Amino acid sequence: MPCLKPMIGPSILNADLAQLSEESQRLLDQGADYLHLDVMDGHFVPNLTFGHPVVKCLRSKIPRAFFETHMMVSNPQQWIEPMADAGVDQYTFHVEPVKDVPEVCRKIKEAGMKVGLAIKPGTPVDVVKTYIDFADLVLIMTVEPGFGGQKFMSDMMPKVSWLRENYPELNIEVDGGVGLNTIDQCSQAGANWIVSGTAVIRAEDPKAVISTLKESVQTAIDSKKC
């Protein structure tokens, strides 16, 4: 089987949104593997961010980067086609508000995007077991979705470990409070996709932070002798 790859994706919500394309390109130039785009509808979570028009404009400026949208929305099916048209590569949505998860996954695939399944801290990890065959990635939230700068929830790591043990080839993402002080917990539990907002964006040397995060994940992967 192919080895898992460490993937570091800064959350651009923490960047200067008035200079989104410049900030995003800077992060890619400093070693980011993808861009994590937080889309909030003011309903599933209290905050409101940006939608597909902004993503489409960003894509026009950055044609080759891998875009993941983290859809913190009550009706993820509504935005599949617009986000596909905007050039999104991976559409990660929360399973909690969705009645027919396989149907949403199917529509995402039909639109030409990869499928990510996200769960909030209060959602048991085995909820995704039924849908795992539809997914390219599972996102374990390590904070409550909707706000940046929250404290990392280390008690979410058993979810990551359970997924890695049961699905050794699965891409597992963590998001929320992940930085230099918490990355080893994430990588040792089995996460290989790392979303980091504040720790990267506000660092004096973002390139060094990204490199350290990636090194931690790679070391954990190597220790499992893939």
Say what the pTM is. 0.96
The rounded average pLDDT for each run of 10 residues, N- to C-terminus, in the chain (226 residues) is 86 90 97 97 93 97 98 98 98 98 98 98 96 97 84 97 97 97 98 95 96 98 82
43 conformational bin, left if phi > 0, alpha if psi -120 to 50, beta if neither: alpha
Q: Has domain 7-223 been given CATH number 3.40.50.720? A: no
Q: Cα angle vertex 37, ends 32, 40, to 5°? A: 155
How many CB atoms lie under 10 A from the CB of residue 182?
23
Structure tokens at 91: 């559409």
Which residue numbers are catalytic?
38, 175
Q: What is the pLDDT of residue 1?
A: 39
Decide: 36 and 11 in contact? Cβ < 8 Å: yes
3-class secondary-structure state, position 37: strand
Q: What is the pLDDT of residue 14?
A: 81
Decide: 86 and 59 in contact? Cβ < 8 Å: yes
The conformation of residue 4, written as its DSSP 8-state character, comes to P
Q: CA torsion angle for 34, 94, 173, 175 (degrees, to 10)?
A: 80
Sign of CA dihedral 115, 156, 158, 95: negative
Q: What is the pLDDT of residue 148?
A: 65
